[in-house]
A and B are shown apart, each in its own frame.
Chain A
Amino acid sequence: MADTIPDSPGDVDAVALLARMQQGDEAAYATCVRIYTGRLLMVARRIVSNEEDARDAVQDGFLAAFKNIGSFEGRAQLGTWLHRIVVNAALGRLRRRQRHPERSIEELLPHFGDDEHQIDPPAPWKDAGDVGLERQESRELVRRSIEKLPEIYRTVLVLRDIEGLDTEETARMLGTATGVIKTRLHRARQALRALLDPYFRQGES
């Protein structure tokens, strides 16, 4: 999946910008902040879902990146590098935040009878074209549904299916095993499916 942060947004040459920053050009730092803050804020909002924490995460991320700019060798692109740093900063904010009691994921997973069939038979969903991915309304519905997932599942879903991190990188950032990430991702997708089901099953408008 494509990274959510373009490496050369607009007309800016990210390689030249990085070189100027590494030479201590303060105007280049200001340009970097101006061109990347909007998209990085969208990334942080997807992880912490709290405006103040999202803004703090973006600021933490930029400062951490600037501190290490001298050692950045350009193996990754500037946009990708900033993206990963802000994801990490947002996860740090998430860990520090007071956790609220959360709904159990169990109620959103399929349940089975003695015959090993699902107790509630799955209904057919609308065709992909009718689900309306291109509609703002559908996107908002998906966003709101992701918000309802318990945090440890939501975080994995966001990192893997939206931010485009692979299993190993997600495991490293969350400090857990790859097997745990795979299980949580599957559960998160199942739970999200259950939340979206009433809206996308055939016959619903």
Chain B
Amino acid sequence: MNCREFTEFLNEYLFGNLPAEERAEFDRHLAECPWCVRYLDSYRKTIQLTQSLAASDSSSPPQDAPEELIQAILSARGRSL
């Protein structure tokens, strides 16, 4: 395995989608390639950063909904009756 192949399929490796034999190949490559160790670490942190946006948005109170939008939705609802 080389770095190009590792980088191309590292998502499959990261999420455990590979058969044992292929996974062992990835592990062997990682054991001898510090660059791919760094790349994998930063790829994983990128996913964590992205997912944390949803967590922070849902745990914080929503911004005040614009009153004009609420009124527009309720008026449209009234017209559709």
The reply to whether A161 and B58 form a contact with Cβ atoms under 8 Å apart is no
The reply to whether A193 and B77 form a contact with Cβ atoms under 8 Å apart is no
A47 to chain B minimum Cβ distance, whole angstroms, is: 13
Task: Please give, as numbers and ranges, the residues of chain B lying within 8 Å of A33 by CB-CB distance.
Answer: 70, 73-74, 77
How many A residues are at the interface, by size bracket?
Answer: 35 or more
Contact A125:B54 (CB < 8 A) given known A39-B62, A62-B77, A63-B77: no
- Taken together as a complex, chains A and B put the C-alpha atoms of A110 and B35 apart, in Å, by 12
A-B contact count (CB 8 A): 139
Chief secondary structure at chain B's binding surface: helix
- Taken together as a complex, chains A and B put the C-alpha atoms of A2 and B55 apart, in Å, by 8
Please name 18 pairs of A and B residues whose Cβ atoms are closer than 8 Å in the assembled complex, sorted by A.
Answer: A1-B54, A116-B5, A118-B39, A121-B35, A122-B36, A125-B41, A125-B42, A125-B45, A131-B49, A133-B49, A133-B52, A138-B49, A139-B56, A157-B50, A161-B51, A162-B53, A193-B46, A196-B42
> Taking the complex as formed, is A128 at the interface, i.e. its CB lies under 8 A from any CB of chain B?
yes
Within residues 30 to 47 of chain B, which ones have a CB less than 8 A from any CB in chain A? Answer: 35-36, 38-39, 41-43, 45-47
The reply to whether A196 and B3 form a contact with Cβ atoms under 8 Å apart is no
Q: Could you list which residues of chain A lie within 8 angstroms of chain B, going by C-beta atoms?
A: 1-6, 29-30, 33-34, 37-39, 41-42, 55, 58-59, 62-63, 66-67, 110, 112, 116-118, 121-125, 128, 131, 133-134, 138-139, 142-143, 146, 157, 161-164, 182, 185-186, 189-190, 192-193, 196-197, 200
